[in-house]
Every structure is written in structure tokens, then in C-alpha cells.
Amino acid sequence: MDAARAYADTELLRFTTAGSVDDGKSTLIGRLLYDTKTIFDDQLAQITEASQRMGEDQVNLALLTDGLRAEREQGITIDVAYRYFATPRRKFIIADTPGHVQYTRNMVTGASTSDLAIVLVDARKGVLNQSRRHAFIASLLGIPHLIVAVNKMDLVGFAQEVYDAIVADFTAFAEKLTVPDVSFVPVSARDGDNVVTPSARMPWYLGGPLLHLLETVKVSGRRNTIDFRFPVQSVIRPHQGFRGYAGTVASGAIRPGAEVVALPAGLTTRVRSIETFDGPRDEARAGDAVVLTFEDEIDISRGDMVVPTKNLPTTTRRVDAYVCWMDQAPMAPGATFVLQQTTRQTQAVVDRIEYRVDVDTLHRAEAERLGLNEIGRIALTTSAPLFVDSYRVNAATGSFILIDPHTHVTVGAGMVRGEVRDVPGRAGPGAPGEPAATGPVSANVVWEGWNIGREAREARNRHRAAVIWLTGLPGAGKTPIARQVEGLLFARGCQTMLLDGDQIRHGLCGDLGFAPADRTENIRRVGEVARLFFEQGAIVLCAFVSPYRQDRDRARALVPDGRFLEVLVTAGDEVRRARDPKGHYARADAGRVADFTGVSAPYEASVAPELVIDTDGAGIEACAYRIIEALVARGLVPAAQGDDRGAPS
């Protein structure tokens, strides 16, 4: 029993291996498992048979981790392989990650929870681009310890000068990183030199073997033990007398009686109890899956976060972050994604790409997009506030993933630097022509939750909130259709708000012109106003030319998925000009109106709008009813009891 208890208390080290293709990562892990006698006889027999079948002259220990048939046949690693072994001094979990550049995303996965990274370098090839890439990712992910294993020393005659040159090269590169502890060891994974036992063939190396470094490195743990963060996963209510909130403590610790605040509502309470499957507990720490109960009945749901009242995370909808891009299709400004951070999920739009990191030199390069496996710094805007800490302070609340909303594939892994702090006049999201300023974010402003939630307003209104965005060239018929739709909805008892270009330009946006930058800022402001009315439970009708696709996408990202309907209103050129009571087309043709969309300024049509309405041969009422029918079909408004055609507009 004492031996079992001592084993259970043995310290755990999580580490990852990475490097270029054929540097010997899997062989090194196989050697660690073999020489520490932590493989079973049937495993050894299996890889011995496989080695003979492949024509190997000795047992190929790499096959211990290359478990997939495709990997064994190709002799490469194509996925993250996790392995476990232990010595009397320490327990280990290893993440063996691929070396191919197209699998860099797997290295991010394997390294995200590691305390140490082993970067292998082939002694024959020296420090390659992929070795630098993996070292940079390890630094970016905040891994505190890095071991550079110079492998295949047997193939260079165990020459010290080869090893010293690689150490000098990597040391010069590592000086640009933020890894506090970098060690080097020369090894031959194939023969076992300096892996578990010291090598007699390299007497010039005075350090210990790799296993000694792994056993003695100080594991401080990457979990934040100070800042309590509890992302709510679900509400537990087995009966009327119990309401609890389930989740895993992301960081810090909590005890009954502690004063906490629930975000985003901002309501304070005290922890009544900490419940587990085995009964109540006196404390919950990082990694513990628990159910919290509170002294007060407050509204908390999945995606909310419980934190101490005097230790708050940053609440923001504008995130400054590094991202490792994982998709074949490049990331570009204006793209929209689903952002998952802890248990919170919201829509997000890429405002801009600040720069791409050149992993060879660590220099910052200007970039209009990020390609597969590239790493860059970006600015994001989310439709709902996030509760974040800097990744280096708290990896649990400082990390997120980006998900393609159409394929549901994870396309990016992000690490939060902080909140975006634009300065007045700074260039923001790009648009045709001059980039637009997104506007400064006020300092020392804390997000305040809505006094009355949208769901409560929707219940009273008996319809759901939505944003209907009518876009198209001047004269296509956007405003008349929007006015008709609002009249029909109002007659049905719906709460509505109509935002029209002329009304906005007479007040809120009276300081803006019609240059590309001003147009983008105009739509940005409209989107924010629409979101406010949306949260009030209204059906918001926005009738704007809004010529730039990414501006419309940004407005879409401000509200939940399924609540934004983009309606492309079209009409022939002659029809639009005939409907032009203000004479804008004629003045634009004469050169007296600059930047007029459809004449001297571009219009970017929607790729996949929810609705396309051609007004050439259709009346305003018929067009309006198409929008009403779309709202009913999506369950946003109830169907009318009778025919309301002819309702006031």
C-alpha cells in the first residue's frame, strides 16, 4: 500500500517531441520505452516481426509509436501519438508529433499541454527551418523548458565539432525566443547513446543522458494556481430543491464562502458548496471537475464564467492574439468564424492581420493573409464578450480555436496577447481603397451586462430578435422594401427598428464622407447600433448600399448565428436610374458626385445571401412578403393568423 501511494504521488512530466522529417523522434521515444523496460513482450514481438517484414537489420523501435499502418508503411509519423512511461523518480506522458511542415498544427496540439519540449536535430543536416518553427511554437506556447537532442551522432562519427556547431547555431536562434531554459544533448537514438545511459563513444560530452535531464528538470507546472476561473459547462437541476453549475476549474482555487461574480451578468454571490460525485469538498483546484452552488439565485448558463470579485479577467469583444493557421484555404481580413474559448462559443470576424512571423529569422513581415501552418498576429472582433487573460499568464483562458462555420473544421489555434487597443487614426480592417479606422477603444471601460436579457424581451414580444440587412446598388429598392416590411411586422405586434442611410447620415454619421474608409466606418457604426436594438429584442431592418462584403460580414458577426439575414436587392441599370428621384446617377455621370457606387465606386455582391430579391418586375409588397415568409420559415416570427396583406406601411 505504501509503495502504491508513493507511486501515485510521483511527479508527472508532460513533454512533446518535435523536429524535421526523419530526425528520429519516434525512434528516440521507442528507445526511451525500451531501455526503461516499459514495453510489453507482445509489443516487442509485434515490432520485431514488422521490422523483419520491412527488411530491417535490427528492431525498429520507431514502430512502438508509429502505430498506424500508413505510418509504418511510409516510415513517418502523421498524427500525434501519446505514450506513457515511468521511472522510480518520475512519470512521463509523451506527445510524439509529426515532422512534416503540413502537420505543424499537430505540433501545436501536442505542445499545448506540455511542460517541456524536445526538439530533435539531425547531426548531418544541422538546424533546419522546421526545427526553428517548432522551437518558436514551443516559445509561443509558453513551454518553459527546451531540450535540443542532436541525433544520429553515429552517422557523423560522434564528432564533437559537429555537435558544437549545431549548439552555436541553435543558441543564436534561441536568444530571440522567450524560453528560459534551453539544454543540449548529443544522442544516437538508434543505438541508445546518451538516451538512458551515458555513451562511452562521446567522452567529450560531460552532461547527463537525456533521461537524466527529464528526471531532474524542475516541473513548476503551467497551470495558473492564483487566478480562479470557472467556465460554466452546464446547469444541474435534478429536482426543484437543487440548482448547481457544473464545469472544470480552469485555474486557481475556490472554497465555500468565497465571494464571486458571474460574467457577463456581473451579479455577485457567495459559493455555498462544492459538490462532486464523491460528496462535498472543502476546496476545488485547477483541473477539478465540480458542481458549484451559490447562496443567491442568479441567472447563469453555459459559456458564462465565475470569477472572484477582486480578481477579474479582461472582458472584451476585441482580441489581440497570435494564431497558428491550420487550413488549406488562407485566412484573410473580413473572414468570419466560430470562436471557442473555454465553454464559450461566439461568432468572430478577423479585423486585420498585423503581421506574419518569419520562423527563419523571427522577423515580422507584412501579410494580407495567412497560409497553412503560418503564424501571425491578428485582431478579432467577437459578437459576444469574451473573458480572457493573457496566454502567458493563464493558458486556460488565454487560448481559443477558430472553427469554420460551414464545415465545422478547426482551422486556427489562437493565443491571446490582450485586448485590442487601437489609437485614433490607426488603420483598421481593409477595404477597397484606403483602409478604414475601426475607431479607438476607450481605456478603463468594463463591459456591463444587459439589465434585462434579450431572451426575456423575446418572450414578452412573442418573437425572436433578428437583423435584416438589405444591401444593393442605389435605386434597387432597399428602403421602400424595408419600410413595407416594418409596417407588416408592426401590424403583427412585432417590435421593430428601421435604420436607413439618410437618417444615419443626418445624425450618427454626419461627420463621415463617402470615401472607402468613411463607408466602412459608417457601416461599422450601423452594425453596432443594430446590435444594441437586437439585444433589446427588436427585429432590426437595415437598408444600406454597404458596398464592401467584409463590412457586411463584420455586421453579421455581431449577432448570433441564424439571426442575421442578408437580403441582396437587385434591379437593372435602367430601372435603378429611373427610380433616382435625387438625380445622383445623372450627377455622377457628369462627374459632379465622386465615389458613387455603381458609377465611380465598386460594389461587392454577396457570395451567399439568405435572400435575393429582383425588383425589376415585382411590386414592393410582394418583395416585402418574401422577407416575411423567410422570417416565419426560420422561426423568428410567428405565422400570421389571417392574411395581413394591405397592412399599413
Under the banding of pLDDT at 50, 70 and 90, the label for residue 72 is: very low
**Average of per-residue pLDDT across 94-114:** 63
Please state, in angstroms and rounded to a whole number, the distance separating the CA atoms of residues 250 and 463: 37
Q: Hey, which of 249-253, 360-364, 509-513 has the most confident mean pLDDT? A: 249-253
pLDDT at 233: 93
Of the listed ranges 57-61, 103-107, 273-277, 633-637, the least confidently predicted one is 103-107
pLDDT at 387: 93
pLDDT at 48: 63
Is 17 a residue whose pLDDT tops 80? yes
Residue 392: Cβ-neighbour burial (10 angstroms; 0-12, 13-18, 19+): middle
Cα torsion angle, 510, 516, 521, 522, sign:
positive
Is 225 a residue whose pLDDT tops 60? yes
Is 56 a residue whose pLDDT tops 70? no
pLDDT at 26: 76
Instruction: Choose the catalytic residue: 26, 139, 390, 546.
Output: 546
Report all structural domains of the chain as residue ranges with CATH numbers, in order of start. Answer: 2-216 (3.40.50.300), 230-308 (2.40.30.10), 315-419 (2.40.30.10), 454-633 (3.40.50.300)
The 3-state DSSP class for residue 292 equals: strand
pLDDT at 107: 62
pLDDT at 89: 87
Contact 148, 163 (CB under 8 A): no
Within 8 A by CB and 6+ apart from 434, the residues are: 427, 515, 516, 517
- Count of beta carbons in the 10 Å neighbourhood of residue 503: 13
Q: Show the 3-state SS of 597-645.
A: ECCCECCCCCCCCCEEEECCCCCHHHHHHHHHHHHHHCCCCCCCCCCCC
Query: pLDDT above 90 covers what percent of the chain?
Result: 35
Is 636 a residue whose pLDDT tops 90? yes
Q: What is the mean pLDDT of the chain?
A: 82
Strand partners, 197: 193
Phi and psi of 20, rounded to 5°?
-85, 170
Under the banding of pLDDT at 50, 70 and 90, the label for residue 595 is: low
Query: pLDDT above 70 covers what percent of the chain?
Result: 81
**Average of per-residue pLDDT across 10-39:** 80
Is 297 a residue whose pLDDT tops 90? no
Bridge-based pairing of strands 539-543 and 466-471 is parallel
Q: Higher model confidence: residue 647 or residue 264? A: 264
β-sheet with 81-86: strand ranges across: 81-86, 91-96, 12-19, 116-122, 145-151, 181-186
Is 512 a residue whose pLDDT tops 80? yes
Of residues 139, 87, 83, 88, the one with CA closest to residue 111: 139
Bridge-based pairing of strands 91-96 and 81-86 is antiparallel
pLDDT at 28: 86
Is 568 a residue whose pLDDT tops 90? yes
Under the banding of pLDDT at 50, 70 and 90, the label for residue 643 is: low
pLDDT at 402: 93
Under the banding of pLDDT at 50, 70 and 90, the label for residue 514 is: confident
Condensed to tens digits (0 to 9), the pLDDT of residues 178-211 reads: 787 899 999 998 889 999 999 999 999 998 999 9
Question: If you search the block for the grid coordinates 451578468, which residue do you land on?
Answer: 265
Rg (CA), the chain: 30
Is 163 a residue whose pLDDT tops 60? yes
Confidence (pTM)? 0.61
pLDDT at 644: 60
pLDDT at 501: 83
pLDDT at 581: 62
Please state, in angstroms and rounded to a whole number, the distance separating the CA atoms of residues 268 and 300: 11
Query: How far from each other are the two terminal CA atoms of the chain, in whole angstroms?
Result: 82
Whether residue 139 lies in the annotated active site: no
pLDDT at 110: 61
pLDDT at 604: 85
The 3-state DSSP class for residue 347 equals: strand
CA distances to 195, 453, 606 from 77, in Å: 20, 50, 42
Please state, in angstroms and rounded to a whole number, the distance separating the CA atoms of residues 415 and 320: 9
Under the banding of pLDDT at 50, 70 and 90, the label for residue 564 is: very high
Instruction: Give the single-character DSSP code of 512.
Output: -
**Average of per-residue pLDDT across 383-410:** 88
Q: Hey, which of 87-91, 132-136, 438-442, 600-604 has the most confident mean pLDDT? A: 87-91
Question: Angle, nearest 10°, between helix axes 478-491 and 620-633?
Answer: 60
Question: If you search the block for the grid coordinates 498524427, which residue do you land on?
Answer: 79
Condensed to tens digits (0 to 9), the pLDDT of residues 417-466 reads: 888 865 433 433 333 333 333 444 454 455 566 778 888 899 899 999 99
Within 8 A by CB and 6+ apart from 324, the residues are: 104, 105, 108, 137, 140, 373, 374, 375, 412, 413, 414
**Average of per-residue pLDDT across 480-508:** 91
Is 15 a residue whose pLDDT tops 70? yes
* Prior bond of 330 cis (ω within 30°): no
Is 43 a residue whose pLDDT tops 70? no
Condensed to tens digits (0 to 9), the pLDDT of residues 300-359 reads: 889 999 999 888 898 888 899 999 888 889 999 888 899 999 999 998 999 899 999 887
